C-alpha cells in the first residue's frame, strides 16, 4: 500500500471497531464543549454573519444557524458554524498536533446531520475518525507547519472534517481516498491572520469546514483523486511541511488509542500558548501577598514556539489581546480572570492594565523548549519595586490537558456560562447539557437552533 492508502486504512480500521464506552464519553464531552463555545461565538459574530449572508442567494437554504433565525445553505451553514466555533478562543486542541480538531469537524457534522440525517452511531464514529485523521496528519507535520507560517487547523482540520463526514455517510475505502485528495488540494490557512488588528483567524476554521463539505460532495458527484496524494515529492505532507511522508509512520505508531483522548479543553479564552502563563499568574494573585502597584516588572519564561506571535505588548484589539502573553498575564493578575469577561474594550483601554502589560516581558527557557511539546510549560516571576524577594510560579501542564483534565462539572459549568452569555434560557441549556452529559441524544441538537 502507498502512504495515502495506509492512512485511510488506519481510519477505516478505527471505524470497523466497536465503540468503547470511554470513546463515547469523550465524543459527548467534545460535542458539549463545542456547543457552548460556538454559542458564545454566535453572540460575538452574528452581526457580521448576517451581513455576509445578506449577500448570498439563500432562496433554497434550509439549514439552521446557532443564535440566528436565518436558515441557509449547507456550505454557508458550515462556514458560519466554523467562524463561530473559533472566535472565542475556547475550542479544544491537541498540543502535539498544534491545531484545533473539534471546531472544523463539528462545524461540518452538525449542518450535515440536518441535511443527510445520519444515525447517532454514524455521528459518533465520524467524530472519532475525524479527530483521528486531523491529529495524525498534524502530529506528523508539526512543528514544521507552524514554522512555515501555516495554521494547522486550516490545513489538517479540513482533512479531518472531510474524512469525518465521509465516515458518517458510510463512504467506501476508495471514496475516502478520493475525499482525502479533494480535501488536500483545498486545505489552506496561514498564521499571518492572527497578527496586528486582524480579526480573520476564525476564517481558517470557516473555510476548512466549507471546503471539507465540498470535498465530500465532489466525490459523491463522481470525481476521483490521486493514488497517493499524501506521499511523494509533490505530495501533501512534503509540500506543506518539507517532511518526507515515510518519516511520519513512527509518529503514528506512538498513538496507541484513539487520538481524541489526547485533546485539551480550554478554560481560558486565549491562545493555548497563553494558558500556562495565565494559570501561573492566577496562582500568584491567589497568594495575595502583593499589590499590583508594587510590581516593577514581570518576566514570563516559556518554550520557543510559544513566543513568536504571542509576546507583543501593543494591544490592537480584542483578538490581539487573546494572542498576547503579556496582556493575558497582566489581565489575570489584575482581574483574576482568564475567561471572556477579561477581553473587552474597557479592559484593553484601561491605562492601569496597559501599564502592567508594558512591564511584562517574555523570554525563552531553553529547558522548557527541550521538553516541548510534551510539556508546554511556563513560569511567571514578579519583581517588586521595594527589592523584596521575587515571586515565581511554574505551570507544567495547564488546566485542560489530559494530565490535568477539566472535570465533568467544570465542563458543564463552562458550557452553561457560555450559553447564558449567548442568550440561551436555562430550560434549553438544561436540555442540552442533560442530553450530552450522561447519554447521547443527537435529536436534542434541535434545541440548540431554537
Of 159, 237, 179, 219, residue with least CA distance to 3: 237
Give ∠ CA 183-189-192 in degrees, rounded to 5. 170
pLDDT of residue 59: 60
Domain for residue 373, yes or no? Answer: yes
Whether residues 178 and 154 share a domain: the answer is yes
35 and 166 in a single domain? The answer is: yes
The CATH number covering residue 169 comes to 1.10.4100.10
| Pairing of the two strands 295-302 and 71-72 | unpaired
C-alpha cell at 348: 484593553
Is there a single domain that holds both residue 133 and residue 211? yes
Q: Which of 241, 262, 283 is the last residue of a domain?
A: 262
Residues of the chain with pLDDT under 70: 57-60, 289-290
Confidence at residue 389, expressed as pLDDT on a 0 to 100 scale: 79
Same domain, 233 and 89: yes
- Does the N-terminal peptide bond of residue 438 adopt cis geometry, omega within 30 degrees of 0? no
So what's the pLDDT on residue 198?
83
In this structure, the answer to whether residues 247 and 330 fall within a common structural domain is no
Which among 31, 40, 45 has a CA at the least distance from the CA of 102? 31
Per-residue pLDDT reduced to its tens digit, 83-113:
999 999 999 999 999 999 999 999 999 999 9
Q: Point out the domain boundary residue: 262, 294, 324.
A: 262
pLDDT digits (tens, 9 = 90+) for 322-371: 999 999 999 999 999 999 999 999 999 999 899 999 999 999 999 999 99
Q: Who's near 133: CB < 8 A, 6+ residues apart?
A: 7, 11, 156, 159, 160, 163, 164
Residue keyed to cell 485511510: 8
pLDDT for 58: 60
Domain residues for the domain of 124 are: 3-262
**Burial label, 330 (beta-carbon count in 10 A; 0-12, 13-18, 19+):** buried
- CA separation for the pair 416, 412 (Å, rounded): 6
Q: Is the dihedral of CA 72, 56, 164, 168 positive or negative?
A: positive
Residue 448 within any structural domain of the chain: no
Count of CB atoms situated within 10 Å of the CB of 253: 8
CA-to-CA distance for 230 and 1, rounded, in angstroms?
A: 12
Q: Which run of H or E residues covers position 145?
A: helix 144-147
Contact 40, 46 (CB under 8 A): no
Task: Quote the pLDDT of residue 47.
Answer: 93
SS3 383: strand
289 shares its domain with 241: no
Q: Return the pLDDT at 225.
A: 96
At 255 the pLDDT is: 84
The pLDDT value given to residue 60 = 66
Structural domain ending residue among the three candidates 380, 395, 410? 395
Assess if residue 413 is contained within a domain. no
Whether residue 442 is contained in a domain is answered as: no
Residue 114 and residue 76 share a domain: yes
| Number of domains observed in the structure of the chain | 2
- pTM of the entire predicted model: 0.95
Amino acid at each position: 500500500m502507498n502512504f495515502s492508502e495506509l492512512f485511510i486504512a488506519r481510519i477505516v480500521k478505527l471505524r470497523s471497531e466497536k465503540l468503547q464506552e470511554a470513546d463515547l464519553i469523550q465524543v459527548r464531552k467534545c460535542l458539549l464543549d463545542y456547543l457552548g463555545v460556538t454559542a458564545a461565538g454566535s453572540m460575538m459574530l452574528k452581526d457580521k454573519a448576517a451581513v455576509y449572508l445578506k449577500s448570498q442567494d439563500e432562496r433554497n437554504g434550509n439549514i439552521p444557524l446557532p443564535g440566528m433565525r436565518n436558515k441557509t445553505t449547507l456550505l454557508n451553514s458550515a462556514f458560519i458554524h466554523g467562524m463561530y466555533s473559533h472566535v472565542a478562543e475556547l475550542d479544544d486542541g491537541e498540543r502535539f498536533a498544534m491545531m484545533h480538531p473539534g471546531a472544523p469537524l463539528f462545524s461540518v457534522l452538525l449542518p450535515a446531520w440536518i441535511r443527510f440525517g445520519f444515525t447517532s452511531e454514524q455521528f459518533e464514529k465520524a467524530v472519532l475518525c475525524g479527530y483521528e485523521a486531523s491529529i495524525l496528519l498534524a502530529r506528523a507535520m508539526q512543528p514544521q507547519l507552524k514554522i512555515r507560517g501555516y495554521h494547522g487547523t486550516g490545513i489538517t482540520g479540513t482533512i479531518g472534517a472531510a474524512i469525518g463526514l465521509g465516515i458518517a455517510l458510510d463512504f467506501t475505502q476508495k471514496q475516502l481516498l478520493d475525499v482525502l485528495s479533494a480535501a488536500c488540494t483545498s486545505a489552506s490557512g496561514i498564521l499571518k491572520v492572527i497578527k496586528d488588528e486582524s480579526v480573520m483567524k476564525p476564517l481558517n476554521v470557516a473555510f476548512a469546514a466549507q471546503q471539507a463539505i465540498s470535498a465530500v460532495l465532489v466525490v459523491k458527484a463522481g470525481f476521483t483523486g490521486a493514488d497517493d496524494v499524501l506521499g511523494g515529492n509533490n505530495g501533501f505532507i512534503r509540500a506543506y511541511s518539507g517532511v518526507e511522508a515515510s518519516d511520519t509512520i513512527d509518529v503514528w505508531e506512538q498513538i496507541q488509542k484513539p487520538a481524541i483522548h489526547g485533546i485539551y479543553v480550554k478554560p481560558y479564552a486565549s491562545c493555548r500558548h497563553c494558558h500556562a502563563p495565565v494559570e501561573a499568574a492566577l496562582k500568584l494573585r491567589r497568594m495575595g501577598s502583593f499589590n499590583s502597584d508594587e510590581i516593577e516588572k514581570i518576566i514570563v519564561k516559556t518554550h520557543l514556539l510559544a513566543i513568536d506571535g504571542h509576546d507583543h505588548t501593543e494591544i490592537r484589539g480584542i483578538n490581539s489581546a487573546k494572542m498576547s502573553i503579556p496582556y493575558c498575564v497582566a489581565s489575570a493578575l489584575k482581574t483574576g480572570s482568564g475567561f471572556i469577561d477579561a477581553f473587552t474594550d474597557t479592559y484593553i483601554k484601561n491605562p492601569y492594565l496597559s501599564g502592567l502589560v508594558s512591564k511584562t516581558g517574555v523570554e525563552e527557557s531553553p529547558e522548557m523548549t527541550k521538553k516541548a511539546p510534551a510539556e508546554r510549560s511556563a513560569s511567571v516571576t514578579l519583581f517588586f519595586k521595594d527589592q523584596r524577594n521575587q515571586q515565581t510560579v511554574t505551570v507544567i501542564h495547564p488546566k485542560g490537558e489530559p494530565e490535568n483534565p477539566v472535570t465533568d462539572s467544570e465542563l458543564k459549568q463552562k458550557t452553561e456560562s457560555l450559553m447564558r452569555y449567548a442568550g440561551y434560557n436555562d430550560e434549553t441549556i438544561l436540555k442540552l447539557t442533560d442530553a450530552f452529559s450522561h447519554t447521547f441524544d443527537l435529536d436534542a441538537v434541535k434545541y440548540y437552533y431554537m
